[in-house]
Amino acid sequence: MSIAAKDTLPPLPAGFLDKLAAIVGEAGLITNPADMIPYLEETRGLYEGTSPAIVRPANTQEVADVVRACAQADVAIVPQGGNTGLCGGGVASGEVIINLVRMNKVRNVDPFNYTMTFDAGCILADLQRVAEVNNRLFPLSLGAEGSCQIGGNLSTNAGGTSVLRYGNARELTLGLEVVLPDGQIWNGLTALRKNNTGYDLKQLFIGAEGTLGIITGTVMKLFPLPRERHTTFAALRDVEAVLELLSRARSASADTVATFELIPRIGLDLALKHIPETVEPLTSAHKWYALIEFESGESGSGLGAVMEGYLAAALKDGLMVDAVVAQSEAQRQQMWFIREAMVLAQAPEGASIKNDISVPISKVPEFIRRADKAAIALCPSVRPVAFGHIGDGNVHYNLQAPVGADDATFLARWNELTEAVVDIVRDLGGSFSAEHGIGLLKVRELANFKSALEMDLMRSVKSALDPKGLMNPGKVL
């Protein structure tokens, strides 16, 4: 897939790039094609971006000045963070790219308020480290954390592995600073848990994928640093058992379950095959596993005994058939390594069609059963790899090409197979994009999935905030 480019947008006005250079300086403007490549490439290789210039402002005022210049000249903008998105939301097709990589300051840490204020260009993993130095946890965590920027995480309302206990990016956010499409700066950087004074405007920009403005700063929640983690890798009776097991885990642990990840045998097999350091976690093979982690803020809290009791009851009642508890941080890392290796192992195995869906938690087993049936009916040897954040009802339902299949032939069936999966998602009241967003990849699906009224409401909001339609055009709507 590549998108129609440049010629769909008018050329830049004469002298426009000089104007931008005057705002951001030489270091802030990239127009050399070779240096532009990292900003134009797209993670999955689905799109080829094109842009006349990458602008890298150093602070909020520079972002505002650049956006105002663009607005005055009717030049369209693609806001961009770490460029790690999975749906093409940061891909330019001729627009000027504004990348926030130079805006990477932590502005304030307030441990007693359990908050941190920072620039939108900060790398997620850096923020985790700053919080830890301050004896606090910044819980947002996901695969791309080493290079993604928090502004992108907010613009896509990122999820990840700790949503069950701590919430998604939206729920972690208390305040925002945003450069609006006309270049005005909205300062909504409050660090308050309660603030019922009119419409909660920050909610508009979170998850809007840069179509309503550019997030330049944010105040987000911190939490007590966990002192103790109890982690188990358990083999399940069957996929239906996850419902009762999750429910029991939440009750037993006083809702301190931080992780409840479903892992299928095929995912483990792929990891063992392709990723060298993967270790078989249990003595025999089982169809379904869960990686479950409880957290405590103090060591010696008794939570270890709670987990032992939880597992003993689950084994006795036949909901689990085997389980091992990590006895050291090294063993815990080994268990988490399986979760990550399973994702990495899918590409070396060949093509796969990826669905990031969610359904009510209570419908997860039914979804997997029905989706498997539908996919196999269309493509008898297809290999479903269903894994993910069951505590959030979020299943990464990936369809691995049949053994020995030609990748291109298989990928040609993307729409057909995806539509079969999405039909079941719709029937179960689910979402066809749980945490990855819409970007370019799912614009058509969005229009198919949502009611005409909902699309109208979204367009009303877009028109109200970005009447010229210059912010990330063609994305989402």
Per the CB < 8 A criterion, the answer to whether 331 and 325 are in contact is no
Closer by beta carbon to a second copy, 246 or else 345: 246
Closer by beta carbon to a second copy, 16 or else 288: 288
Euclidean distance between CA atoms 356 and 435, whole angstroms: 7
Least separation in angstroms between CB 393 and a second copy: 6
Closer by beta carbon to a second copy, 149 or else 168: 168
List binders of a second copy among 154-183 (CB under 8 A). Answer: 156-157, 159, 163-164, 167-168, 170-171, 180
The torsion angles phi and psi of 277, rounded to 5 degrees, stand at -85, 5
Q: Which long-range contacts (CB under 8 A, 24 or more apart) does 346-349 make?
A: 346/270, 346/385, 346/398, 346/400, 348/274, 349/270, 349/273, 349/274, 349/400
> What mask, x for binding a second copy by CB under 8 A, covers residues 402 to 441?
---------------------------xxxxxxxxxx---
Interhelix angle 265-274/329-344, rounded to 10 degrees, is 90
Least separation in angstroms between CB 355 and a second copy: 13
Closest residue by Cα to residue 322 from 294, 362, 280: 280
Q: Which of 149, 161, 218, 358 binds a second copy (CB under 8 A)?
A: 358
> What mask, x for binding a second copy by CB under 8 A, covers residues 115 to 134?
x-------------------
Pairing state of beta strands 115-119 and 173-179?
A: unpaired
Size of the site for a second copy (CB under 8 A): 100
List binders of a second copy among 189-218 (CB under 8 A). Answer: 190-201, 203-204, 206-208, 212
Segment lying near a second copy (by CB under 8 A), choices 36-44, 90-98, 329-337, 356-364: 356-364
Q: Which residues of 267-301 are buried (b: 16+ CB within 10 A; e: fewer)?
A: bbbbbbebbeebeebeeeebebbbbbbbbbeeeeb
Segment lying near a second copy (by CB under 8 A), choices 29-37, 224-232, 263-271, 318-326: 224-232
- Interaction between residue 61 and a second copy (CB under 8 A): no
- Interaction between residue 449 and a second copy (CB under 8 A): yes
Least separation in angstroms between CB 138 and a second copy: 14
Pairing state of beta strands 394-400 and 29-30?
A: unpaired
Least separation in angstroms between CB 65 and a second copy: 16
- Interaction between residue 221 and a second copy (CB under 8 A): no
- Other residues' Cβ atoms within 10 Å of the Cβ of residue 208: 28
Q: Which of 11, 13, 146, 224 binds a second copy (CB under 8 A)?
A: 224
Segment lying near a second copy (by CB under 8 A), choices 71-79, 145-153, 368-376, 446-454: 446-454
Euclidean distance between CA atoms 465 and 367, whole angstroms: 38
Q: What does 385-441 look like in DSSP terms, one character per residue? A: EEEEEGGGTEEEEEEEPPTT--HHHHHTTHHHHHHHHHHHHHHTT-BSBSSS--TTT
> What mask, x for binding a second copy by CB under 8 A, covers residues 451 to 470?
x-xx--xx-xx-xxx-----
- Interaction between residue 316 and a second copy (CB under 8 A): no
The torsion angles phi and psi of 401, rounded to 5 degrees, stand at -55, 150
Least separation in angstroms between CB 289 and a second copy: 20
